Structure 1
Amino acid sequence: MSTLICNGDDETYPLHECVFGGDVRKLSSLLRFHDVTRKDKHGNTALHLAVMLGRKECVQLLLAHGAPVKVKNFAGWSPLAEAVSYGDRQTISSLVRKLKQQAREQMEVRRPDLIKALSQIQNFYMELKWDFHSWVPLVSRILPSDVCKIYKSGSGIRLDTTLVDFSDMKWERGDISFIFQGEKPPSESLTVIDNKVKVYQRVRYEETENEIEDEVDILMSSDILAATMSTKAINFSRAQSGWIFREDRKETVAGLYKSDIYTITGIVLESRKRREHLSTDDLQKNKAILESLTKGNTQNLDTNGEPVRRASLNPPPESAIEWSSYISAPVGEYPSLGRELVYKESTRNFRAMIAMSDDFPLSVEMLLNVLEVIAPFKHFAKLRQFVAMKLPKGFPVKIDIPILPTVTAKITFQKFDFRDDIPEELFVIPDDYVEDPLRFPDL
């Protein structure tokens, strides 16, 4: 093991350096005085390095001191992604647990402000129309559309939709209601109802041990994916109309909202995939395994009826890279520390339109608060991400946003009314509905 010089100089990375050499005792003492969230010149936190190098004791120590799990390095990978690549099941499980704990803690910090903000908004009813389109020939013909109805009363939100889920060019139709009751404790505040079969599911803050281990199996059995919508070069410009005499384009959306139309350029959809942790045999078996797991079924049981879990991979060869070589490498071009990447990426430039109106009675900030509540629906999480960008003046009454690399959604705010007569029973689970904790496995 190389001798470490772990000092507190601001131009060095003492936590990272100690992790690199596996000096657990020194790391423990340094954690009292140094920022566990700090990134090095490559964008890696100390937890990134601990995972990539297989320093299990360092991983546990960093997690115990609150090292963030969701953070990404400059290449776009989180410590959890690197843990899946390395393939140690215990490490992956620890990171999944800590990730969920940190998400709960962040939500609890945000929760009082969110409830207060919702309570200060006048009660309303709103309709959002979703139309999905694709640039791939014929695909648009089979894509769904939906009208979502949103009711807001006090600190409560109800969303009614017929689109249950939409991912990987598959969607599930139904009659679904999502209810948020801000005055209730966290474990009871989020409920999803299937009105067709009359069942409901509480969106729990904490998963069972089996649910955690199922998620670890899914992670270990599937590609490591990173899909981002980069807006670094985004540009809004007024759309033009007319052949000879050009003028700024305007439109009245839903027959109500006079709007200025903008063309959006510079949005880049980046999709990256890694599979160095998967064998050829894995790739052949995994489709059936994943379908079983995501439906809430365990794909294999032992003689005692217990689920057979995916075992840890053999670790990659011990890295011979010295700290000095790593930290002196050009930014983002450091030598491989774990498995050699099996990597594929694709990018697509996206051009869109947006209609901004000063006539819409809701503010963008109010909309963001509403969307934060219903973010468990993946397409609404995308909408929130888009609306959170620095938009032109007004309210986005019609938007094109990318949902998948080949699919975009056009969202139109086609109706909005402030109402004092929102029925209270809309936020109550009907007496004849039965609880089914496995109805929506992804929630």
Structure 2
Amino acid sequence: MAASDDSDYSLHECVFTGNLRKLSSLLRNHDVGARDKYGNTPLHLAVMLGRKECIHLLLNHGAPVKVKNNAGWSPLSEAISYGDRQILSSLLRKLKQQSREQVEERRPNLVAALHSIDDFYMELKWDFQSWVPLVSRILPSDICRIHKRGSSMRLDTTLVDFNDMKWERGDISFIFNGDRKPSQSLTVLDNKDKLFQRVRYEETEQEIEDEVDLLMSSDIIAVQMSTKSITFSRATTGWFFKEDRKELVGSFNAEFYNVNGMVLESRKRREHLTEEDLRKNKAIVESFTKGGTSQVDINGETIRRPSLPPPSPCSLTWEEYLSDPGTTPPVLGREMVYKQTCKAFRATVAMSSEFPLSVSMLLNVLEIVAPFKHFTKLREFVNMKLPTGFPVKIDIPILPTVTAKITFQQFTFKSDIPPELFEVPPNYHEDPTRFPDL
């Protein structure tokens, strides 16, 4: 969404000056997600200034929570910085609601796309590598097996999670049944322990409050792969007589390209955390990410992280905010404690015109398996404007010291895929807490 003209900043001005009555009347015929010269939406301003009534009014009118300003921060990021539990809970609930609505909006097209292609079996190999020798020796590899039948899909993997140089091995199946209602469409099987878990469609009140505790206890982090300056050049082979690199990947002829200008941008803020917080919170964060329970007091009551004292009131006027010559927004809330790092990476991709699946179909497949975090980077990469063909082999960075090599090594159209593959076996038992991140 592009920044608005000055004449479209009416909602922003109402929020800035706290004019709730005028804001309410203008919301009927103004874009609630309009962005000012800094990329801030009215909700950004309301959160940074702590205007609770404006926040609730904007959220009731569908103000987007996920949108980022020019500096890369969302209203949720600013709510963590401001440190008010009530504000943060409201934004988190609305964010999850908006995410569900977006998924449901795309769902009919996704199901139709699955129906439109013949049933298939595909193998996807992951090799994790590092330039740090000792690390490279202990990194995992995995072969994901994907079956597709009608509007159903099943992914079998032995790599449950891979994050911050830690991974969890297992024997996991992820099942998507597109023709079922949302609350029943996603299931994860633990084939080793004979357990299954429905991927939760809506969070409980406790889960929301647990997540608020986690957000308030953690750095505010924004990581993105910048694709603005990316170019592709043909990879070459040979010492003296260079020629374009072409190889067989699986059974597919492929042409190799270097991906130039790939930059991993990492932004981190911690103005909401004290030194004591940083010492204590590591254990809290680890507990939550492993599915641990909340802390309780001697009476068994859940201990919640309290709201922070509000930042000093903003001294800027609306006119001063709007006329500031800087490209980054003036500070309206808590003074930022900020660190940014940029690291350039080189990646390679092998494109084949012989692979029978299209890139758009692959994106649909990756959207379905989104709960598996290590697929997110692959989806971001495939979303780029790639050279002609299908990316049968990709080397992409997923962590500062770790690269993933992904190879589409087998693809077969099959008409005899059994429907039982997409059902929970009768001897499996339900465990709604087996996979805490799902």
What is the TM-score normalised by the length of structure 2? 0.97
Give the whole-Å Cα distance in 1 for the aligned partners of 2:133 and 2:27: 55
Whether 1:358 aligns to 2:356 is: no
Match of 1:143 in 2: 139
Give the whole-Å Cα distance in 2 for the aligned partners of 1:333 and 1:111: 37
Measure how far apart 1:303 and its partner are. 4.2
Match of 1:227 in 2: 223
Whether 1:110 aligns to 2:106 is: yes
- Which shows bigger deviation, 73-82 or 286-295? 286-295
Whether 1:428 aligns to 2:423 is: yes
Match of 2:339 in 1: 344
Structure 1 contact 42–74 (Cα < 8 Å) conserved = yes
Match of 1:48 in 2: 44
Give the whole-Å Cα distance in 1 for the aligned partners of 2:317 and 2:164: 41
What is the TM-score normalised by the length of structure 1? 0.96
Equivalent runs, 1:27-46 vs 2, <5 Å: 27-46=23-42
Measure how far apart 1:137 and its partner are. 4.2
Structure 1: which 4+ aligned runs deviate by more than 4 Å? none
Alignment: residue pair count: 435
Which residue among 190, 199, 221 is the counterpart of 2:186? 190
- Which shows bigger deviation, 373-382 or 180-189? 373-382
Counterparts in 2 of 1:430 and 1:243: CA distance versus 1, 3 Å: same
- Which shows bigger deviation, 324-333 or 412-421? 324-333
Match of 2:71 in 1: 75
Secondary structure in 2 matching 1:293: helix
Structure 1 contact 63–98 (Cα < 8 Å) conserved = yes
Whether 1:204 aligns to 2:163 is: no
Which residue among 303, 313, 320 is the counterpart of 1:325? 320
Match of 2:167 in 1: 171
Q: CA deviation digits over 1:28-53, x for unaligned, max 9?
A: 11111110011100011000010011
Give the whole-Å Cα distance in 1 for the aligned partners of 2:419 and 2:301: 44
Whether 1:438 aligns to 2:433 is: yes
AA paired with 2:317? E
Task: Compute the RMSD of aligned alpha carbons.
Answer: 1.3
AA paired with 1:316? P
Structure 2 contact 65–94 (Cα < 8 Å) conserved = yes
Which residue among 34, 56, 62 is the counterpart of 2:58? 62
Whether 1:121 aligns to 2:117 is: yes
Measure how far apart 1:9 and its partner are. 7.6
Q: CA deviation digits over 1:325-360, x for unaligned, max 9?
A: 111123533321111111111111011110000111
AA paired with 2:127? D
Match of 2:306 in 1: 311
- Which shows bigger deviation, 424-433 or 328-337? 328-337
Q: CA deviation digits over 1:199-230, x for unaligned, max 9?
A: 11101210000000000000000110110000
Identity of aligned residues (%): 70
Measure how far apart 1:267 and its partner are. 0.7
- Which shows bigger deviation, 197-206 or 128-137? 128-137
Whether 1:294 aligns to 2:289 is: yes
Structure 1 contact 271–405 (Cα < 8 Å) conserved = no
Match of 1:4 in 2: none
Q: CA deviation digits over 1:402-427, x for unaligned, max 9?
A: 21232221100011110011111110
Structure 2 contact 210–294 (Cα < 8 Å) conserved = no
Structure 2 contact 257–350 (Cα < 8 Å) conserved = yes
Secondary structure in 2 matching 1:11: helix
Secondary structure in 2 matching 1:310: coil
Give the whole-Å Cα distance in 2 for the aligned partners of 1:405 and 1:67: 35
Measure how far apart 1:11 and its partner are. 3.3
Whether 1:274 aligns to 2:272 is: no
Match of 1:162 in 2: 158
Structure 1 contact 75–332 (Cα < 8 Å) conserved = no
Measure how far apart 1:432 and its partner are. 1.0
Unaligned runs of 5+ in 2: none
Secondary structure in 1 matching 2:96: helix
AA paired with 1:56? K
Which residue among 399, 409, 412 is the counterpart of 2:407? 412
Q: CA deviation digits over 1:380-437, x for unaligned, max 9?
A: 1221111111110111000012212322211000111100111111101011111111
Match of 2:237 in 1: 241
Give the whole-Å Cα distance in 1 for the aligned partners of 2:128 and 2:390: 21
Measure how far apart 1:243 and its partner are. 2.4
Structure 2 contact 395–403 (Cα < 8 Å) conserved = yes
Structure 2 contact 291–437 (Cα < 8 Å) conserved = no
Measure how far apart 1:306 and its partner are. 2.7
Match of 2:278 in 1: 283
Whether 1:388 aligns to 2:383 is: yes
Give the whole-Å Cα distance in 2 for the aligned partners of 1:137 and 1:272: 28
AA paired with 2:215? L
Counterparts in 2 of 1:136 and 1:322: CA distance versus 1, 3 Å: farther
